[in-house]
Amino acid sequence: MLGLIAGIVYFTGTLYWITRLMIVYGGMQPLVGMLVNALLIAYLALFPAFFAVITRRLVVAHGPSALMAAPLVWVATELGRTHLLTGFPWVLLGYSQATVLPVAQLASIFGVYGVSALVAGVSAAASVWVVADRMSDRWRALIVGALPVLLVAVWGSVRAANAEWTKAGESVRVGLIQGNFIEEEKRDPGQAPRIFRSYVRMTREAIGSGAQLVIWPEASFPSYFEEDLAAANVVRAIARQARVPILLGGDQIERGLPNQYYNSAFLIRSDGTTAGFYRKMHLVPFGEYVPLRRLLFFAAPLVSVIGSGFAAGETPTVLAVDGHRLSVAICYEIVYPNLVRQFVRGGSELLTTITNDAWFGPTSAPYQHFAQASMRAIEEGRYLVRSANTGVSGIVDPYGRVLQRSEIYTPAVIVAEARFLTASTLYARYGDVFAYASVVFTLAMLVLARRRVK
C-alpha cells in the first residue's frame, strides 16, 4: 500500500499535464479526461508497489541490511515499466540527475538505469541508517551509499572536463526551426499556407546564418509531403539552391484498403532529392493510437482525426547526409534508451529528435521531455539536436552540456555547431546489461528469501 501511494504521488506530480491534453485536444469531458489519466497513473503506480513488496520480502528474510538491494530492485521495476504493454519510461529516477553532469556521466556506462540505481542507493543507505540497530550496520550502509557517489562524481567531473569528443569528428552547423504554432492553428486547414510560409522564411534565415543542415519539427509539413508536390518542390528548391540538406517532419500515407498513416520524417539532400524517410516506431498511447481500443472506447476521440490512428514503423532507419549518417527520434521515442541505441548501432553519427510539444501547454512536460532527451547524448556519446514546434529546442553535447536552447512558446531559429561522431560509449556497445542483471539479481534474491523464510 505504501508503494502504491508513493507511485500515485510520483506520477500524479509528474504526469498531471496529461489530463489537460485529453480535455483540451482530445475533446473529452473533464471527468472522462481525469478518469483516463487516473487509469494510467494507477497502472504506473503498480511498479513502485511491486518494488515495495519485493523489498519488504527481502528485508523480512535477510534483515534491514537487505535494503541495500533496493537500487537493483528499483531498476528491475523501471525496466519493466519501459517494456510492458508497449512501455512508458517517462521520468525514470535517473533523469533527476540530467543537469548534475558529473553524476550523469554514469549513463555512458550503464545508461539512465545506472543513474537511477545510484540515486536509489543513497536513499537506501539513509534508510538503513535510520532503521538499523547496530552502529556498525549504519556505518557500513553509509560507506556503501556514499562511496559510489564520490567515485562517480570525481570520475564524471574529469570526464566532462576533458570533453574529448567535442574536438573529434567533423563539425556541422545545424539550424533548428521552432515555428511556435499552437495545435489549434495546426488543425485549421486555412492556416496551412501561413504556417508553411513561416517555415520557409525561417529556413532561409537559418541558411543565411550559416546553417549546413536545417531541421524542422515533428508534423511541421502542413500536408502529406509525398503528395503535396507544390509545397514539396519549394522545400526541394531551397535545399538545391543553398546546397543545404533539410530534415522535416510530416505525415505519410500509404494508400490501400484501408489506408495506413505514419508519423514520419523526411530527409531532403542538398541536391533537392529525397534521401529517405523514417517512420515512427513507438507511438504515443492515447495520442496516436488507443491501446485496448474496444475496452477504452471512451478514449477514441483522441485519435479521431485519422480514424483508427497511426500505424507504427518497423525499422530504425538511419539516413545518409553528405557522407555521414544521422538518426531521427520522433517525439517521445527519445525516452526509449534502447531505440536510440539501435540507431547508433546502425551507424548514426548524430542524434536528431523532432517533436511537437504544443500538446503539453505551459506545463513541466516540455522541460521533462528535453531533460530526458539530453540523457541520450551522454549514453550514446553523440551530439543531440532537438527541434520542437513550441520548444524546448536545443543542442546538447556528448557530455550532457546544453550548448543552445530556446524558450517555450516563442518562435526561434537556432544555429550552432554540432559534430558527427563515430566513437562509442560502453553503453552504446553493451546496452542495458546492468538493467537486465538487476532483474536476474532480484529474482535470485527472491528465491533465496523464499528458502530462508521456509
pLDDT in tens, 40-49: 999 999 999 9
Give yes or no: 170 in active site.
Answer: no
- Quote the domain boundaries for residue 340: 169-422
386 and 407 in a single domain? The answer is yes
Whether residues 229 and 134 share a domain: the answer is no
* Residues 175 and 290 both lie in one domain: yes
Q: Residue 306's pLDDT is what?
A: 42
Indicate if the alpha-carbon torsion angle 116, 119, 121, 123 is positive or negative: negative
C-alpha distances in angstroms, 345 versus 87, 325, 342? 22, 12, 5
Residues 158 and 249 in one domain: no
Distances (CA, A) of 96 to 11, 52, 143, 200, 304: 14, 21, 22, 37, 35
Same domain, 177 and 123: no
Q: 3-state DSSP call for residue 269?
A: coil
Name which of 386, 377, 350 is nearest 176 in CA terms: 386
Instruction: For residues 252 and 384, state if they share a domain.
Output: yes
Catalytic residue among 186, 280, 349, 379: 280
Catalytic residue among 218, 333, 379, 380: 218
Give the pLDDT score at 307.
45
Which residues in the chain show pLDDT less than 70?
286-287, 289-308, 452-454
Q: State the total domains in the chain.
A: 2
For residue 71, is the peptide bond before it cis, meaning its omega torsion is within 30 degrees of 0? no
Do 263 and 138 share a structural domain?
no
- The radius of gyration of the chain's CA atoms, rounded to the nearest angstrom, is 23
Same domain, 153 and 214: no
Whole-number pLDDT of residue 241: 98
Q: Which of 104, 97, 193, 37 is nearest to 425 (CA)?
A: 104
The model's pTM: 0.94
Q: Choose, from 78, 186, 288, 331, the residue flagged as catalytic.
A: 331
Sequence-separated contacts (24+) of 12-20 with Cβ below 8 Å: 12/41, 14/90, 14/91, 14/364, 14/368, 15/40, 15/41, 15/44, 15/90, 15/91, 16/363, 17/360, 17/361, 17/363, 17/364, 17/365, 18/286, 20/361, 20/363
Same domain, 347 and 418: yes
Same domain for 248 and 140?
no
For 14, how many CA atoms within 13 A lie in the half-sphere containing its CB?
A: 21
Single out the residue of 198, 186, 104 nearest to residue 153, CA to CA: 104
- In a shared domain, residues 435 and 370: no
Neighbours of 9 (CB within 10 A): 13
Backbone dihedral region for residue 358 (phi beyond 0: left; psi -120 to 50: alpha; all else: beta): alpha
CA 120 and chain centroid, separation: 21
CA–CA distance, 116 with 154 (Å, rounded to integer): 18
- Neighbouring C-beta atoms of residue 262, cutoff 10 Å: 21
Integer Cα distance of 41 and 221 in angstroms: 33
**Residue 363, CA atoms < 13 Å, CB-side half-sphere:** 17
CATH number of residue 313's parent domain: 3.60.110.10
pLDDT score of 303: 53
- CB neighbourhood size of 119 (10 A): 21
Same domain, yes or no, for 139 and 208? no
Active site residue 186: no
The predicted pLDDT at position 65 comes to 85
Query: 331 an active-site residue?
Result: yes
Evaluated on CA atoms 396, 399, 403, 404, the torsion sign reads positive
pLDDT in tens, 268-279: 999 999 999 999
Q: Rounded distance, CA 130 to CA 145, Å?
A: 13
